[in-house]
Structure 1
């Protein structure tokens, strides 16, 4: 049954961080806004649940220097910031299962391998500085950089087997994919959008430096409280029609809403599933179809106390053996319990997803036990979020540009299509894929709508 609703000024699709920020910014400017969310809760990729009285982030949760917009938003909402725990030694598990402790950012890989990796990282940094984050498809080397994968660059540049293995692990940790799936240009753009490779990889001074008290999900819920009845949950959008006077948005149950503009603030694979009438320009439609999400299973594992700290460990670990790519101490600020988060990314995530829930749990806890000792294998809580099985996300951390996508189709990246505007962490030239990028994109989309209203 079709239900027609009175018109609003703007419809925002997707109540993740980008959509919430966009809708709230438009509301403050006096626009009548409706925010349609497919799920039964807000937050998008900053999802959360409550475990033992504490909010647990199942999605994005870290922020760091240079991410000015999320820091400003947290301050405005009265959300406190506290540092990610880093005191103690980090852990590296080699491909043979040997566990080594190290301090700082340089794991014990052997002198030749470390030198090889350092040279490769330096070259990546230099190449990234040649990319314009606003228009990465431009530039004299754009076609050559976009015509190869990160894997082909690693094969050509990195001389040691250990160095290549480490950089594959790093790619999984950073982009949640295999280096063979990623355009070299996109890897460089991503680094440039963050400011530097160190900004991407480091905890102290980098994008993982700080956390939000109550979680990133708490920021989303506070924004949602401001928007109140403007939010419609359980409302997956299936069709967007536009003409010279406005847009009509149709959700799964047949309900239709009318507006002057619409902002699509969902991941590219979901935007590609919406029926647009008239159809999107071919280049824009083709871009949406070519951008898969990364593969991530995030585990939040709780203990009575952060026992690893007493053992002189930071809680941070990298595993070349797998299936875990990395772990981080995610214990609450209250100190009431210990929490490790573990990420299984790329091919290991695809492989692990084919197993039974019991097998996945056993495999994950065995891996944690190798990294942190037998106590890690006996948690009091265990939460799994396979982002690729989330119907309204289809992966994480962000969308991936394969070879050719930037240079062939990138000019359509953020451009409005008539009354259709775009938001989401994938549309930000600064901090692409991060919470801060989502905030920036929501602000930018609201500003674009306001400019369009003036014409």
Structure 2
């Protein structure tokens, strides 16, 4: 019996949607299965009472996001729909915020660094600029740093560079423990993205791109895939209580989920899947009746609270500073993010306990928080971001050289790049592998298929 589909894509996050888009453009019959009731994965947004809450990803950059900007251009999403975040990132130290983190002005303002640490920051930046050609986000394993972790790399510099720059930055944006994650990946990303002065957000929420892509595809939300089995030249999926067959299956889900769904993976794949561990992510959204800010300095977009200063929080995001459309007129919105240790302790607790713990900690930085709060929500991602450990880095080359098979993979973990651009790039790579295997003609005209997103 012939397979029902050319390609079945498991997961409607950015990797799955990007891969499905490329495959559909090539004329293949593609269907996307998503267990959740909405698309976007870790770029999803939630809309409540006129507030737009980014439950996962927070921003993107004009640099280092080439694949994402190409998709945006293809869909006709212009820069006016991806506006600049004009407020600074600040570091909390000594009882006040210091602006200029991840920005050229940091050398002048200090951005929380002591004078001696600023000298070492300049030395670090000079070293990095001289070695720029040795770092590549597509091949992070090919660097002069080998298996060194972020913490090991930082020991060559003033302790402030770790405590008041690297730890809070990677701890917040990647959810990393600096003792576990590879410096090569971090430095590749820093070089690709550049400073934070050009960072942008989506006007309608971080899921804008995901929703636009899904509108052109056959996406089945509320459809959980339980197992994927290769049958030689094709594959079989157990979707709910139904069986679906396809010439190819793309597992566009976190590595631990992919390993569970496809336990028969060859050793070269299974080894890398096991090595690609993830850190959990947790957020609390506070819907405010007015915009709030820290006591001192200009209102920041993001306030980093290093582990050396706070044993609960990692950061506070002032979403109303990110873009005014995130809230009703005159209102405010905060996102509270715990540090890695706190996340591990709170992840399985009831929402009320999580909210109380984080809101109590945030009140030390944001005066009037309790009185201004209208509603609160907790958002959990047990598999938040890939850790990019030295073990995964060491196995990646073999994994990337794997044979073409009916079951393949996409996700930010494939690129060891914990960002939506990593997901998009992996989706494009996975689509090219599927097309190569199926020998689909690449010259078929683009088909303007406009299929509605179906729910269970």
Structure 1-normalised TM-score?
0.82
Deviations 1:127-161 (A, max 9, x none): 5642344444346x4xxx34332222323x1343x
Mapped to 1, the partners of 2:277 and 2:378 lie a distance apart of 22
Q: 1:231 to 1:315 in 2, by over 3 A?
A: closer
Q: CA deviation at 1:313?
A: 1.4
Structure 1: how far apart are the matches of 2:3 and 2:406?
A: 18
Q: Does 1:271 align with 2:258?
A: yes
* SS state at 1:370 partner: coil
**Unaligned stretches of 5+ residues in structure 1:** 389-393
d(CA) in 2 for partners of 1:258 and 1:15?
19
**What is the Cα deviation at residue 356 of structure 1?**
5.0
Q: Structure 1 residues 174, 59: CA separation in 2 closer, same or farther (over 3 Å shift)?
A: closer
Once the two structures are superposed, the pairs formed by residues 94-243 of structure 1 within 5 Å of their partners are 94=93, 98-103=95-100, 104-105=105-106, 106-120=110-124, 122-123=126-127, 129-138=133-142, 141=144, 145-155=145-155, 157-160=156-159, 162-166=160-164, 167-191=166-190, 195=192, 199=194, 202-205=195-198, 209-227=199-217, 230-243=218-231
In 2: Cα distance, 1:90 partner to 1:6 partner: 51
1:381 lines up with 2:375 in the alignment? yes
Residue in 2 that maps onto 1:391: none
- Taking the aligned partners of 1:271 and 1:123, their CA distance within structure 2 comes to 38
**CA contact under 8 A between 1:81 and 1:210: conserved in structure 2?**
no
Tell me if structure 2 keeps the 8 A contact 1:5–1:256. no
Distance 1:292 1:224 in 2: 28
- From 317, 324, 337, give the equivalent of 1:328: 317
Report the secondary structure of 2:39's partner residue. Answer: coil
Deviation at 1:5, TM superposition (A): 10
Tell me the distance in 2 between the aligned counterparts of 1:191 and 1:119. Answer: 16
Q: Which runs of structure 1 show a deviation greater than 6 angstroms over 4 or more consecutive aligned residues?
A: none
- Give the secondary-structure state (helix, strand or coil) at the position aligned to 1:181: coil
1:323-362 correspondence runs (5 A) = 323-331=312-320, 332-334=323-325, 336=329, 337-353=331-347, 357-362=351-356
Residue 319 in structure 1 maps to residue 317 in structure 2: no
Contact 2:7 2:31 in 1 (8 A): yes
1:422 aligns with 2:420: no
Aligned CA distance change for structure 1 residues 187 and 377 (closer, same or farther; 3 Å): farther
Assess if the C-alpha contact under 8 Å between 1:283 and 1:409 holds in 2. Answer: no
Residues in 2 aligned to 1:324 and 1:309: alpha-carbon distance in whole angstroms: 15
Higher mean alpha-carbon deviation, 295-304 vs 260-269, is at: 295-304
Contact 2:40 2:211 in 1 (8 A): yes
1:291 Cα deviation after fit: 1.2
Query: Separation in 2 of the partners of 1:5 and 1:410?
Result: 34
Report the alpha carbon displacement of residue 215 of structure 1 after superposing the two structures with TM: 1.1
- Cα distance, 1:72–1:133 mapped onto 2, change above 3 Å: closer
Residues 99, 370 of structure 1: 8 Å contact kept = no
- Change beyond 3 A, Cα 1:76–1:164: closer
User: Is the contact made by 1:308 and 1:315 (CA closer than 8 Å) also made in structure 2?
Assistant: no
Task: Count residues in correspondence.
Answer: 420
CA distance in 1, matches of 2:85, 2:119: 28
Change (3 A) 1:340 1:414: farther
1:264 CA drift (Å) = 1.4
- Find the residue that maps to 1:260 and give its secondary structure: strand
TM-score (norm 2): 0.82
Tell me the equivalent position of 1:17.
14
